[in-house]
Amino acid sequence: MTKEVKDHLFLLIKSLTKSEKRQFKLFVGRLDINQDSKFLHLFNFLDKAKTYDEAAILNNGIIKKQQLANVKAHLYKQILISLKLNPSHQNVRLQIREQLDFASILYHKGLYKQSLRILDKSKEFAIKNEEKNLAYEIVELEKIIESQYITRSISNRAEDLTRQAEELSTLNITASKLSNLSLQLYGIILKSGYVKNESERNEITTFFEDRLPKYDFKLLGFREKLWLYNAHLWFSFLLQDFKNCYRFASKWVNLFYEYPRMISLNPVFFLKGNNYLLESIFFLRKKERFIEAYTNLKGQLESSSFPTNENIKILSFIYLNTHSINMHFIDGSFNQGIDKIPKIEEELRHLSSKIDTHYKMVLYYKFACLHFGAGNNRECIRYLQKIISTKSLKAREDLMCFARILNLVAHYEAGLDFHLDSLLKSTYRFLIKMNDLHEVQKEMIKFIKGLQDIYPGQVKAAFSELHQRLKQYEDHPFERRAFLYLDIISWLESKIENVPVGVIFKRKFLEQSRGTLKDR
């Protein structure tokens, strides 16, 4: 099977809507010279093509081989210019940047007063919309112009601009340091997952505290607060401190309701904040609160005022479906969750080229866990194989590790023990290589390996012994992370009591619900 070529120009053309294609043709058609141009013929050819085939382009006679690279580059640029002019892509940042360009043109023509008038309005607009980097850039250009606009007294003006530049610079530096810290913490959790021991905990804590900039909270605006909550959220996730995860995710989401204008201006951050809020509630197993947060998010996405574009559609698909499945892990309604899989998979196929491998693997792991909970072990194995066989998954080593552990358990449950020994060896080698072999994994591998030598009448007692050994790790600050990926305790209890694992989940959910009501 030949591998499909993923050409950047071809992917860009295929991402265009009908209205964007129509606008592009109108845009290039404004000049008669473009009507029979090579780049327009190439556009029409690629628009109709199902795959990118360079040989077919050359055989069609549209263009010569030595011209192809230049024509493709020109077409790519023209499409981007056309998209920039499309009203649906005219965001605040582009509007400010456009005004800044106009002011620069007027400045270079010596029309200082007109340039300053545009810059003053643009600066006010930029600050109002939390675009402080652009506001700083505007102030710097104002300073240059004021130094040459000698027909106007600038004594107070110079002081005002200097003060503005210092204030914006301080806030920009704070925001930059916070965003850097947030990104670094996110990179750590993608690469290694949660902290695994006291040494890592101390290392991450030192890393966080050393890089957290000093700030006066009263002076922080929307953008600075957003990155502050973001950094604290990832720090809390790394430490598995889910109460603080919930605290900072709530602050993040509430920040948008405090600045409602920012929801439409920064929809991606609004979606991400809600995603982390739902994730933290899921780990705390609070179903009522989870449903409330999920319903609020869905309501916002269905609102006519909420912006829509391909990026938002993709994120909405990932977040809504991930948490729609998570809901069934809280109360053990696995069969209801399984009913959702075909529709999600169908949508996933359509969006496959636009969704990161990491997100696909997370969904596959959740599909596998749903089937495992419902007792469909062969289906569970099928989805796990998609993860285990993925060579391009560089991040989320923790996901790979627990996919292999669950694979072992599912093979045992399905009675597929004829090659269990080779699976044990490969899993053990993988965990050793990843330096991720902890007590829960050690106990599980040792137990499954020993099952082959246990008589049928001794199996139940063996499950009980493993349950007692693992129970001590359920609330362990570092070992408990294993139970976030795979609830081994509930599985063991289902084996001991000889009932489906879903029954155990439902019982625990009801017990927790009664405890919550009692606490009230």
Q: What is the pLDDT of residues 354-378, one digit of tens each?
A: 888 888 898 999 999 999 888 899 9
Query: Which stretches in the chain have pLDDT values below 50?
Result: 1-3, 151, 516-520
Mark 181-196 as b/e (b = at least 16 C-beta within 10 Å): bbeebbebbeebbbbb
What pLDDT is attached to residue 490?
82
For the whole model, what pTM was predicted?
A: 0.78
Q: Are residues 70 and 122 in the same domain?
A: no
Rounded to the nearest 5°, which phi and psi values hold at 500?
Answer: -60, 150
Number of structural domains in the chain: 2
First vs last Cα of the chain: how many Å apart? 61
Last residue of some domain: 101, 127, 152?
152
Separation of alpha carbons 378 and 411, rounded Å = 8
What pLDDT is attached to residue 151?
46
Residue 327 domain-assigned (yes or no): no
Residue of 37, 13, 8, 21 lying closest to 86 (CA atoms): 21
Q: What is the pLDDT of residues 55-66, one digit of tens each?
A: 888 888 878 888
- The answer to whether 355 and 318 have CB atoms below 8 angstroms apart is yes
Q: Are residues 74 and 13 in the same domain?
A: yes
What pLDDT is attached to residue 426?
82
What pLDDT is attached to residue 467?
83
Name the one residue in this structure whose structure tokens are 């010569």.
Answer: 64
Last residue of some domain: 106, 129, 152?
152
Q: Are residues 126 and 78 in the same domain?
A: no
Residue 103 domain-assigned (yes or no): yes
Q: Are residues 43 and 99 in the same domain?
A: no
Separation of alpha carbons 384 and 419, rounded Å = 16
Residue 64 domain-assigned (yes or no): yes
Domain, as residue range, for 101: 92-152
Residue 121 domain-assigned (yes or no): yes
Q: Are residues 84 and 100 in the same domain?
A: no
What does the DSSP assignment read for 419-445? THHHHHHHHHHHHHHTT---HHHHHHH
Mark 102-121 as b/e (b = at least 16 C-beta within 10 Å): ebeebbeeeebeebbebbee
Q: Are residues 112 and 134 in the same domain?
A: yes
Q: Are residues 102 and 67 in the same domain?
A: no
Last residue of some domain: 73, 89, 105?
89
Residues with Cβ within 8 Å of 293's Cβ and at least 6 positions away in sequence, in order, are 274, 277, 278, 281
Q: What is the dihedral of CA 361, 362, 364, 367, to 10 degrees?
A: 180
Separation of alpha carbons 8 and 69, rounded Å = 12
Tally Cβ neighbours within 10 Å of residue 3: 5
What pLDDT is attached to residue 518?
45
Q: Are residues 78 and 97 in the same domain?
A: no
Residue 130 domain-assigned (yes or no): yes
Q: Are residues 39 and 25 in the same domain?
A: yes
Residue 24 domain-assigned (yes or no): yes
Residue 430 domain-assigned (yes or no): no
What does the DSSP assignment read for 248-303? HHHHHHHHHHHSTHHHHHSHHHHHHHHHHHHHHHHHHT-HHHHHHHHHHHHHHHHS
Residue 169 domain-assigned (yes or no): no
